[in-house]
Amino acid sequence: MNTTRVYCGLSCEESDETTIVTKKPQWNHQCSMFYTYNLERRRKDWYLWRSEACINTTISFDVSCGTYRDPRIFFYRNEHLFEYEDGEEDKGKLGQSPDLLRNS
Protein backbone atom coordinates (compact mmCIF):
# COMPACT_ATOMS: atom_id res chain seq x y z
CA MET A 1 0.00 0.00 0.00
CA ASN A 2 1.44 3.37 -1.02
CA THR A 3 0.91 6.19 1.44
CA THR A 4 1.84 9.81 0.81
CA ARG A 5 3.79 11.45 3.61
CA VAL A 6 4.59 15.14 4.01
CA TYR A 7 7.83 15.85 5.90
CA CYS A 8 8.68 18.97 7.90
CA GLY A 9 12.25 19.59 9.13
CA LEU A 10 12.50 20.33 12.86
CA SER A 11 16.02 21.85 13.03
CA CYS A 12 17.03 19.42 15.79
CA GLU A 13 20.44 18.80 14.19
CA GLU A 14 22.80 16.56 16.12
CA SER A 15 20.10 15.78 18.69
CA ASP A 16 20.23 12.17 19.87
CA GLU A 17 16.51 12.07 20.41
CA THR A 18 13.44 14.15 19.71
CA THR A 19 10.04 13.85 21.33
CA ILE A 20 6.56 15.09 20.52
CA VAL A 21 5.47 16.53 23.85
CA THR A 22 1.87 17.31 22.90
CA LYS A 23 -0.43 18.02 19.97
CA LYS A 24 -2.99 20.83 19.89
CA PRO A 25 -5.88 20.25 19.86
CA GLN A 26 -5.39 16.97 21.72
CA TRP A 27 -8.86 15.72 20.83
CA ASN A 28 -8.02 15.65 17.11
CA HIS A 29 -8.46 12.00 16.09
CA GLN A 30 -7.47 12.51 12.45
CA CYS A 31 -3.87 12.73 13.62
CA SER A 32 -2.92 9.56 15.47
CA MET A 33 0.73 9.00 16.44
CA PHE A 34 2.51 6.16 14.61
CA TYR A 35 -0.35 5.90 12.07
CA THR A 36 -0.82 9.36 10.57
CA TYR A 37 2.13 11.26 12.11
CA ASN A 38 5.45 10.51 13.75
CA LEU A 39 9.09 11.58 14.02
CA GLU A 40 11.82 10.25 11.78
CA ARG A 41 15.54 10.88 11.72
CA ARG A 42 17.10 11.43 8.30
CA ARG A 43 20.78 12.21 7.97
CA LYS A 44 21.57 14.69 10.75
CA ASP A 45 18.12 16.17 11.33
CA TRP A 46 14.74 15.09 12.65
CA TYR A 47 11.51 15.39 10.67
CA LEU A 48 7.85 15.28 11.57
CA TRP A 49 5.84 13.43 8.95
CA ARG A 50 2.08 13.47 8.43
CA SER A 51 -0.08 11.33 6.18
CA GLU A 52 -3.68 10.61 5.18
CA ALA A 53 -6.29 12.90 6.82
CA CYS A 54 -3.68 14.44 9.12
CA ILE A 55 -2.02 16.22 6.17
CA ASN A 56 -4.99 18.57 5.68
CA THR A 57 -5.80 19.02 9.37
CA THR A 58 -5.03 22.25 11.23
CA ILE A 59 -2.93 21.08 14.17
CA SER A 60 0.24 22.09 15.99
CA PHE A 61 2.84 19.99 17.77
CA ASP A 62 5.12 20.89 20.68
CA VAL A 63 8.44 19.16 20.02
CA SER A 64 11.41 18.76 22.36
CA CYS A 65 14.84 18.35 20.77
CA GLY A 66 17.05 16.21 22.98
CA THR A 67 16.82 16.13 26.75
CA TYR A 68 17.94 18.41 29.54
CA ARG A 69 20.44 17.06 32.06
CA ASP A 70 18.39 18.52 34.90
CA PRO A 71 14.62 17.77 34.70
CA ARG A 72 13.93 20.96 36.68
CA ILE A 73 15.14 22.96 33.67
CA PHE A 74 12.66 21.15 31.42
CA PHE A 75 9.88 21.90 33.90
CA TYR A 76 10.86 25.56 34.22
CA ARG A 77 10.97 26.09 30.44
CA ASN A 78 7.76 24.10 29.80
CA GLU A 79 5.71 25.00 32.86
CA HIS A 80 2.57 25.41 30.73
CA LEU A 81 2.55 21.64 30.13
CA PHE A 82 2.08 21.00 33.85
CA GLU A 83 -0.65 23.54 34.59
CA TYR A 84 -4.16 22.56 35.56
CA GLU A 85 -7.19 24.80 35.48
CA ASP A 86 -7.95 24.11 39.15
CA GLY A 87 -4.33 24.35 40.32
CA GLU A 88 -3.60 28.05 39.98
CA GLU A 89 -3.18 28.46 43.75
CA ASP A 90 -0.30 25.92 43.75
CA LYS A 91 1.57 27.59 40.90
CA GLY A 92 5.10 28.54 41.83
CA LYS A 93 5.39 26.22 44.83
CA LEU A 94 7.46 23.54 43.10
CA GLY A 95 10.80 25.26 43.63
CA GLN A 96 11.57 26.55 40.15
CA SER A 97 14.53 28.83 40.13
CA PRO A 98 15.70 31.27 37.46
CA ASP A 99 19.24 30.20 38.43
CA LEU A 100 18.59 26.89 36.65
CA LEU A 101 18.53 28.68 33.33
CA ARG A 102 21.94 30.23 33.89
CA ASN A 103 23.52 26.86 34.71
CA SER A 104 22.39 25.11 31.52
Number of domains in the chain: 2
Q: How far apart are CA 50 and CA 35, in angstroms?
A: 9
Same domain, yes or no: 79 and 50: no
**Residue 49: its pLDDT value, please?**
97
Q: For the residues 1-15, what does the mean pLDDT come to?
A: 88
Q: Find residue 63's DSSP bridge partners.
A: 20
At 36-70, the pLDDT tens digits run: 999 999 988 899 999 999 999 999 999 998 866 67
Same domain, yes or no: 72 and 31: no
- Per-residue pLDDT at 104 exceeds 80: no
Same domain, yes or no: 56 and 86: no
**Residue 98: its pLDDT value, please?**
52
Same domain, yes or no: 54 and 78: no
Same domain, yes or no: 60 and 74: no
Give the predicted TM-score (pTM) of the model.
0.61
Q: How far apart are CA 88 and CA 83, in angstroms?
A: 8
Please, what is the end-to-end C-alpha distance for the chain in angstroms? Answer: 46
Q: Under DSSP, is residue 54 helix (H, G, I), strand (E, B) or coil?
A: helix
